[in-house]
Amino acid sequence: MTVEIGVEEIEDIALGATVLGTGGGGDPHVGKLVAKQAIEEFGPVELVHPDELSDDAFVVPTAQMGAPTVSVEKLPSGQEAVDSLERIERELDQEVDATMPIECGGINSTFPFAVAARRGLPVVDADGMGRAFPELHHETFNIYGVSGTPAAVSDERGNTCLIETEDNEQLEWLARGVTVRMGGVAYVSDYPMTGTQVKDTAIPGTMTLARNLGRELRVAEDDAMDAIRDVTRSSIYGEAQSLFEGKIVDVQRRTEHGFVFGHVDVDGLGRDEGSSMRIEFQNENLGAQVDGEYVATVPDLITVLDRETGGPIPTESLRYGARVRVLGIKTPEIMRTPAALDVWGPHSFGLETTYKPLEG
Amino acid sequence: MTVEIGVEEIEDIALGATVLGTGGGGDPHVGKLVAKQAIEEFGPVELVHPDELSDDAFVVPTAQMGAPTVSVEKLPSGQEAVDSLERIERELDQEVDATMPIECGGINSTFPFAVAARRGLPVVDADGMGRAFPELHHETFNIYGVSGTPAAVSDERGNTCLIETEDNEQLEWLARGVTVRMGGVAYVSDYPMTGTQVKDTAIPGTMTLARNLGRELRVAEDDAMDAIRDVTRSSIYGEAQSLFEGKIVDVQRRTEHGFVFGHVDVDGLGRDEGSSMRIEFQNENLGAQVDGEYVATVPDLITVLDRETGGPIPTESLRYGARVRVLGIKTPEIMRTPAALDVWGPHSFGLETTYKPLEG
């Protein structure tokens, strides 16, 4: 069944992506504006499930890369990422059949729809993070053996860098350096794949999941927790569970090497009175401890909701005194294998704990 | 007439390149070792004058890029630069007919001979700086309209970045960022050119000039100044002249953005007793003032010689107490046009003076 993504569906995906972004992933508002503008100009975009792809389909994910704070000041048109996509086509002498998000949280959940609208391409209903993560090797594509290169990094002035390496961590390292030189924001097309590789490595259905989360949140009003529970219950993720409720008493942030590191402390209220939670983050929420014991870590989703409005709060908007509810969502098996935990488990982010898989 | 460059000629070129390097350009010793090793293994290299190139010859300059201090610790094989050259061949689907130095001072005067020996290519007897300069857009190729890209930057791990831009300053900016990420040293192939473009834009005969300088310096013993005078007198450069003699009384250096900035102060001796000279540098010597008045600036050559041994002293080896003779060499007309001075005249390096052309 073909699903068409118009401006209303983009609104839903962007809202749902704030839950899946686990506090990071860049401002979905920017991706939403760019995608809506492109769809208004070029028409709606077809969303295709990985199973609908032919095995030899040529799929190239597209994304914005760089500091989220910069992206609001320099609103892209989507053409910048089309440039990087077409650089890959030229390099591999093959026309792209579809694009795909590299992550389903934050700005990059909707950004590929701008590329797709401009180029008349479908978007694959899947991604490579199943949430948001900070770096380009944090991808199931990398974990399950797809080369990230040739990868093209482009900017709004028409400059491009085509990167080739056998090491996807080197791709991240080099592309990040280029992004900084391009002014802090760049547009990347990487992990060129066949349809078979998409089916074997991508996390399926995450665009639909984001859309369903957004649609239900939009009508849920103050009952966000129930809406999120309902949607996640029938997904390949686990049913969302409330990990903690309380009041923010401290927020520490520092920016290093283009990432935002820090933690937020929450004093318990209601059922959690007398306890306290600490959430550590690097762009995205990485781990949550209650009274010093980890109750959830990467790759499982840890999302902070406003306790009054139910809306997800990105790490950059966490403020002293805010009443919050912290929820956890179990991730699908493809994100929790030993190979996956090597790349994005707690140790890979420097958390001093083994992975405590959320159930549910 | 075909000239063959073997290990002895490499010794000469490297020594001559210390004069043309005007204090910078990276340690010629490194380029010399790499070139000699490649020539011993693969045989001597043919040196061809630009006039001998067919108009449609495909010429791609090769160079090491990055911090000179790093290059001694990480001795390259020459294959790293062959990788970048072959990346350009693959991109443009054309076999290279010759390589060429981008500068005739410092490490990059001899480095292309390692590439040439390994690939069985000739080296063009010419370069794009006529001396050493710190950045990739400091090239007559850039000044006279050749695109620097596609340019390939490679490292010893087999990673490559292919850069495309319409702005050669952006090439420098992006390639420098990639070089830093590649560990401080990388290998670049840029300004792919036709034979006609080489004839129109390169500074001809500079490898022969470097070789002649080196050969004469080798036999001159303590009469270096006369040797340099003799060789330059019969070149397209002006006859070398002694600008100042004295004792170093102060050296200031600071490293910023991968460049070494600073100045050296010299108190006059002999005929210059009672005067003092200041030489400002950014990797290379930029300008020389006597008692506050500029007597020479970029692009003319300012080279500091050891007053006893006659050997050129790179900026990194300038030391308090050393007795030195400072010489100036007038550059050829192609390096002094208004277009050239826009790119590498005193103002482009922040010197507060107009260009005072050396005569001679």
pLDDT in tens, A96-108: 999 999 999 999 9
> Quick check: B177 and A173 CB within 8 A?
no
Is the pLDDT at B353 greater than 90, yes or no?
Answer: yes
- Running DSSP on this structure, what letter comes out for residue B67? -
Which H or E element spans position B127? strand B126-127
> Quick check: A181 and B181 CB within 8 A?
no
Dump pLDDT digits (tens) for A20-54.
Answer: 999 988 878 888 999 999 999 999 999 999 999 99
CA–CA distance, B304 with B246 (Å, rounded to integer): 11
Q: Which of A208-212, A252-256, B35-39, B85-89 has the lowest mean pLDDT?
A: A252-256
CA–CA distance, A300 with A259 (Å, rounded to integer): 20
CB neighbour list of residue B149: distance below 8 Å, 6 or more residues apart: B163, B164, B165, B168, B171, B190
- Running DSSP on this structure, what letter comes out for residue A138? -
Tell me what pLDDT residue A69 has.
Answer: 56
Q: Is A183 on the interface with B (CB under 8 A)?
A: no
Rounded to an integer, the average pLDDT of A247-257 is 92
Contact criterion met (CB below 8 Å) for B55 and B194:
yes
CA–CA distance, B128 with B139 (Å, rounded to integer): 5
> Quick check: B177 and A181 CB within 8 A?
yes
**Which residues in chain A have their CB less than 8 angstroms from residue B177's CB?**
177-178, 180-181
B319/chain A closest Cα distance in angstroms: 35
Q: Give the nearest chain A residue to B92 (CA atoms).
A: A91
**Which residues in chain B have their CB less than 8 angstroms from residue A159's CB?**
163-165, 167, 170, 174
Output the CA angle B35-B84-B3, nearest 5 degrees. 35
Say what percent of chain B tops pLDDT 90: 85
Q: Which of A195-209, B38-52, B299-313 has the lowest mean pLDDT?
A: B299-313
Q: Which of B42-46, B118-122, B315-319 has the lowest mean pLDDT?
A: B315-319
Is the pLDDT at B123 greater than 60, yes or no?
Answer: yes
Tell me what pLDDT residue B360 has.
Answer: 67
Q: Which of A30-34, A134-138, A153-157, B255-259 has the lowest mean pLDDT?
A: B255-259
Is the pLDDT at B184 greater than 90, yes or no?
Answer: no
A167/chain B closest Cα distance in angstroms: 9
Give me B62's structure tokens. 């090769």
Dump pLDDT digits (tens) for B193-221.
Answer: 999 999 999 999 999 999 999 999 998 87
**Which residues in chain A have their CB less than 8 angstroms from residue B159's CB?**
163-165, 167, 170, 174
Q: Is A169 on the interface with B (CB under 8 A)?
A: no
Question: Strands, DSSP E only, in chain A?
Answer: 3-5, 45-48, 58-66, 98-100, 123-124, 126-127, 151-154, 160-164, 185-189, 193-194, 203-204, 241-256, 259-268, 276-282, 284-290, 293-297, 301-306, 323-329
**Which residues in chain B have their CB less than 8 angstroms from residue A174's CB?**
159, 161, 178, 181-182
Contact criterion met (CB below 8 Å) for A156 and A66:
no
Tell me what pLDDT residue A29 has.
Answer: 85
Give me B123's structure tokens. 């080296």
Q: Is A253 on the interface with B (CB under 8 A)?
A: no
> Quick check: A174 and B181 CB within 8 A?
yes
CA–CA distance, A73 with B292 (Å, rounded to integer): 46
> Quick check: B163 and A165 CB within 8 A?
no
Domains of chain B, first to last: 3-204 (3.40.1610.10), 237-349 (2.40.390.10)
For the packed helices B206-220 and B7-20, what is the interaxial angle rounded to 10 degrees?
90
Say what percent of chain B tops pLDDT 70: 97
Which H or E element spans position B119? helix B111-119
B92/chain A closest Cα distance in angstroms: 11
Q: Is B90 on the interface with A (CB under 8 A)?
A: no
For an interface test with A, which of B162, B170, B171 has the most A Cβ atoms less than 10 Å from its Cβ? B162
Name the maximum alpha-carbon separation found in chain A. 62
CA–CA distance, A254 with B165 (Å, rounded to integer): 34
Beta strands A123-124; A45-48: pairing state: parallel
Closest Cα partner for A266 from A258, A275, A257? A275
Closest Cα partner for A156 from A179, A138, A137? A179
Q: Is B186 on the interface with A (CB under 8 A)?
A: no
For the packed helices A111-119 and A79-92, what is the interaxial angle rounded to 10 degrees?
70
Give me B169's structure tokens. 């300053």
Dump pLDDT digits (tens) for A258-310.
Answer: 788 999 999 999 999 999 999 999 999 999 999 999 999 999 999 999 998 88
Q: Pick B177's closest partner by Cβ from A167, A170, A177.
A: A177
How would you list the strands of the sheet with B259-268, edge to edge? B293-297, B284-290, B276-282, B259-268, B241-256, B323-329, B301-306
Amino acid at A143: I
Is the pLDDT at B74 greater than 70, yes or no?
Answer: no
Q: With the CA atoms of B166, B168, B169 and B170 taken in that order, what torsion angle do they form, in degrees rounded to the nearest 10?
A: 50
Tell me what pLDDT residue A335 has.
Answer: 98
> Quick check: A182 and B174 CB within 8 A?
yes
- Running DSSP on this structure, what letter comes out for residue B13? H
B47: which strand partners? Answer: B3, B123
Tell me what pLDDT residue A70 has.
Answer: 52
Q: Give the nearest chain A residue to B151 (CA atoms).
A: A161
Contact criterion met (CB below 8 Å) for A117 and A45:
yes
Which H or E element spans position B279? strand B276-282
pLDDT-derived band at B68, boundaries 50, 70, 90: low
> Quick check: A170 and B159 CB within 8 A?
yes
> Quick check: A181 and B182 CB within 8 A?
no
Tell me what pLDDT residue B34 has.
Answer: 93
> Quick check: A180 and B177 CB within 8 A?
yes
Q: Reduce the DSSP state of residue B45 to 3 states and report it.
A: strand
Q: Is A30 on the interface with B (CB under 8 A)?
A: no
Q: Pick A181's closest partner by Cβ from B87, B166, B174.
A: B174
Tell me what pLDDT residue B71 has.
Answer: 52
Which H or E element spans position B256? strand B241-256
CA–CA distance, B132 with B285 (Å, rounded to integer): 9
What ipTM did this prediction achieve?
A: 0.89
Amino acid at B201: T
Q: With the CA atoms of A71, A75, A78 and A79 taken in that order, what torsion angle do they form, in degrees rounded to the nearest 10?
A: -110
Q: Give the nearest chain A residue to B165 (CA atoms).
A: A159
Give me B237's structure tokens. 């450069």
CA–CA distance, B5 with A17 (Å, rounded to integer): 63
For an interface test with A, which of B135, B136, B159, B257 has the most A Cβ atoms less than 10 Å from its Cβ? B159
Closest Cα partner for A105 from A231, A285, A356, A319? A285
Is the pLDDT at B328 greater than 80, yes or no?
Answer: yes
CA–CA distance, B267 with B273 (Å, rounded to integer): 7
> Quick check: B174 and A176 CB within 8 A?
no
Is the pLDDT at B88 greater than 60, yes or no?
Answer: yes
Contact criterion met (CB below 8 Å) for A358 and A330:
yes
Q: How many CB atoms lie within 10 A of CB B234?
A: 10
